[in-house]
Every structure is written in C-alpha cells, then in structure tokens.
Amino acid sequence: MSSPRDPGGASGSSPTAPAAGAHPDLGPLAAAYVLILAAFRPLAARLVQPWITAIAKRTST
C-alpha cells in the first residue's frame, strides 16, 4: 500500500528510488557498478590474502 510519504509502498520497491532526481542514465550505470563490485570483491580478497599473510609472517619475526 502506497502513501504520500512513501511512494514506493511499505516494501520500498520503487524502481527509481535510488536515482530519484538524478540523470536517467545513471540508473543502469549504478547497477552495473554494483554488479561488478559484487563479482570483483571476493576475487580481490582471494588474490590479496597470500600477500597479507606473507607480510604478517615477515613482520612477526
């Protein structure tokens, strides 16, 4: 159910809510950015962990 204060309804499922008032082309760009980060962050963590482990071993001795 929608109200004047919450046009997206109780669930907040308005598709334009994050980009309200922004340039219309920013919505797809923001979505692509989020999807790229969602895929890249776990890979980056796996690639960086061996370096961090090596540095921690080197500084602890």
State the burial class of residue 59 (Cβ atoms within 10 Å of its Cβ: 0-12, 13-18, 19+): exposed
Give the pLDDT of residue 14: 55
Closest CA to 41 of 49, 50, 52: 49
Q: Could you report the per-residue pLDDT of 2-61, keeping only the tens digit for each? A: 556 655 555 555 555 555 677 888 889 999 999 999 999 999 999 999 999 999 999 886
DSSP 34: H
Can you read off the two tokens belonging to residue 45?
């963590």
Give the pLDDT of residue 4: 61
Asked whether the beta carbons of 7 and 14 are under 8 A apart, the reply is yes
Give the pLDDT of residue 12: 54
How many Å apart are CA 59 and CA 61, to the nearest integer? 6
